[in-house]
Structure 1
Amino acid sequence: MKRVLLPFLAAALAMLSPLTLSAQKADYLGQLEGECHKQKGHSYQGMDVFGNYLVSLQDKGVATIYRLSGRNYRKVSQFHLASYDEVNHSNVLSFGCEKYDRKDPFPLAYISQCHRKPYKGMKDVLFVERIAPDMQSSSLVQTILYDDRNGDFGYALQWVIDRPNRMLYGYGNTIDNTNPANRHRIIKFRLPALEEGSFVVLKPEDALENYLIEDASGFSFNPIGQGLYVYKGKLYMPTGVAKYETPSILYVWDLAAKSMEAVDLSRCTAGELEDISRYNGRFIVQGQDGLFILKSLR
């Protein structure tokens, strides 16, 4: 993989702990077929893949399911999530470990609300939904909330599942990305089981880990965060909106070694990145301009 330093990032990276920015190319698969894509408030957001199906979310909670076949895909269904709401940004979609019924086509879907405004008085809610067997609707089966009594997170807390280890990770700003004093916190919990009830509150004292990336590694950054994905002990974080000041960078955080890598995705897309998953042994990325598969990042 060719290693390059973009001019507008070179100075910043030189001030940090050793970090190389690897350039990545991609195969563009095509545009998405979301609901009223050009209408304000229906931007593409969270996405995840299970088997040969890709589920794409839009702001407020619109879900579109596609059947994947190599480089091709076709739209299967589209519906509003049970958690559809003006303050459900649906920023991250992460499939869990359990199925509501063993005959269901998908495991439970975890959707990060991730909005500046609270949902029914609750901040940064994690919605857990069952996608119906006919893929035409979903039902809300559990709601997870973090008791942020210590003010660990500002805007906004995102959630992601580590499926092999049955863990739930929260990641977010301590303030927000416009504040120079902002830092980035990771918190780790055991993934609550569905049998624990329809409403689960995670408490700070129950956390298995709770730390700042900056303190753990000495690495400092302040990007516009997008989606999340955990693969082989690493947290993949697409960031940026494909602008000079906010470039499209995929940050990769090693959850065990507490070290950071960075991948330049500016050659892949001129659009805003949104979420990342895996399909057929490669990473697949959803952006505002469609879907693409990273060529060399494994």
Structure 2
Amino acid sequence: MYKRLLTITPNPSLDISGFAKTIKPNEKTYVSNEITSAGGNAINVARMLTRWRIPVIATGFIGGRIGEEVNDLLLQEKVLCDFVNIKGSTRVNVTVSLMKDHRHTRFSFPGPKITDSDVKRLQKVIQRNGPELLVIGGSLPPGFTIKHLNNLIHIAVKNHVDVVIDCPGKILRELRSPKVLLLKPNLEEFQEMTGSHVRSIAAVKKRAQEFLKFASYVCVSSVEGGALLITKQGAFFGKTAPIKIKSTVGAGDSMVAAMVAKISAGVTSEEEILRWGLAAAAATLSEPGTELGHISKFRSLFLRTKVFAV
């Protein structure tokens, strides 16, 4: 059971989302129902954990007035923050969904330049907060290299800190960690991570088992319409309860948050951990734009979620 959790989002964003009737090239698109929120994989994890009243601190690199707004939005949600302030400005990401079918277009920008000095200050933040569990999620901004990331993970593991990683496939492919708690790629990221074209439950399971030598849990989502959780004790597959999908933004982050919450609470049943993860993902899938799932939906979705050994 973990008492001190810290999430690292190397490249936070101010997420702006809304709806449009149509999107046509070379024409102005009018967007309605604007929603503004703090964004980034691990930030979303911190937001969800806070909703479950699990103590967590969010960190990463933020800068400029946009960075201040990200910090303020998180404080409004009562998320504790300890960010590294940098000279550059935090990025803005935009998601526009079509009203008729909720298909969306996402514009994700590279983010500000990170210096070696910024990285050293992040290391001090980690030391200061003394986490027992570290969740690292999202893309890497310019200047913050995979080497920097590997170094942070090595220091954490050396200090007996469990690590959860939810990053793009090209980053996962270059990880050189001695041991992590959970790897959470989606299928596309897993294919990029492994340099393969595996798609079926059996093929993904076989390939994922190779990573159990340095990960206690490997969870691959978007496999045959569901998610696959692989551990040394076995493999489990499940699908979310039938829902009307309004947006996929943040669903994977919600799954990570739920799984971390259950592991943190001492739950050892892989089936239950995956069921809660799928329920949290479904709750977020049923919300529009960049909205995250509401707690009130989790229990009913959990009860309707089926998971079985494979």
Bigger fraction of residues in helix: 2
Q: Give the TM-score taking structure 1 as reference length.
A: 0.34
Q: Give the TM-score taking structure 2 as reference length.
A: 0.33
Bigger fraction of residues in strand: 1
